[in-house]
Copies of this chain bind each other. A is one copy, B any other.
């Protein structure tokens, strides 16, 4: 019987699963991210115990090297996460489990999951954006996962920053007030002094957040012209946030995009992932399936 392995590697935990689709998950385990050695060993142990699998898909935090021809294919590259820069993940798992491995970003995996079983079924061009500790984005353009020179890095776009309204300088170690630097969970916590989940529905907090998210989404819309934008991640899970973001996007666009999909269907156009927080790990299974 066919079985695929899916791994979503994150900065705080790795989600490992075996199955073929959302209704056929045969085993799952959450592993805390510690050192590369220990984390990968535990991942291998899970698949040795619960497998076998025919192929493994990995959706990874990044930046990553996913060029098939590269000698460092399968590596996490310049991450600021201590101990994890230039770490081989894909090649080691492929070698130790002796199965084909698909390796992509966590957000491209989530996009593929939403395309296969979720909110983006049947669409050719759309994107998946996660707003959590950081901000990342992936997606499909005309049916193919977004890859180029490297992979998308939505979080590092520069967006307008009104210093009078928000003198906060941003948290990105490379860029200060890029999109992630202003609007990620880390930015919210640094600006307001407590984590996003402990901040009440004070208009000041969430209207500013919605404004920043909308400014980034407008850039994505202008570059990629997505048929839909799926917004996942811990910060975006707050029910009151997406309605504010939609309103800001419409206000910023000011009627320019002559599409009934955006104008009259904004609630479907900017939407939460149908697979919820499982989009990434299920997408990793879809990556394995698509090999």
Contact = CB atoms under 8 A, between A and B. Distances in A.
A197 interface: no
Contacts of A224: 146, 148, 152, 223-224
A130 B111 CA distance: 30
Give the dominant DSSP class at A's interface.
Answer: loop
Given A256-B153, A258-B77, A219 B226 contact: no
Given A157-B219, A222-B157, A223-B157, A150 B258 contact: yes
A88 to B, nearest CB: 15
A225 B141 contact: no
A103 interface: no
A168 to B, nearest CB: 15
A174 B250 CA distance: 12
Contacts of A153: 221-222, 225, 256-257
Query: Which of A175, A219, A224, A226 has the largest count of B CB atoms less than 10 A from its CB?
Result: A219
A12 interface: no
A152 B225 CA distance: 5
- Tally of this chain's copies: 2
A203 interface: no
Interface stretch (A13-21, A91-99, A158-166, A237-245): A158-166
Contacts of A223: 137, 152, 154, 157, 219-220, 223-224
B225 A146 contact: yes
Contacts of A27: none
Interface in A123-171: 124-126, 137, 141-161
Given A146-B225, A148-B225, A154-B223, 20 more contacts: A125-B147, A137-B223, A141-B148, A142-B148, A144-B144, A146-B224, A148-B226, A149-B226, A149-B261, A150-B225, A153-B221, A153-B222, A153-B225, A153-B257, A157-B218, A157-B219, A159-B160, A175-B252, A175-B254, A219-B219
Per CB-CB distance, the 8 closest pairs between chain A and chain B, nearest first, are: A148-B225, A125-B148, A141-B141, A223-B223, A142-B144, A174-B256, A157-B219, A157-B222
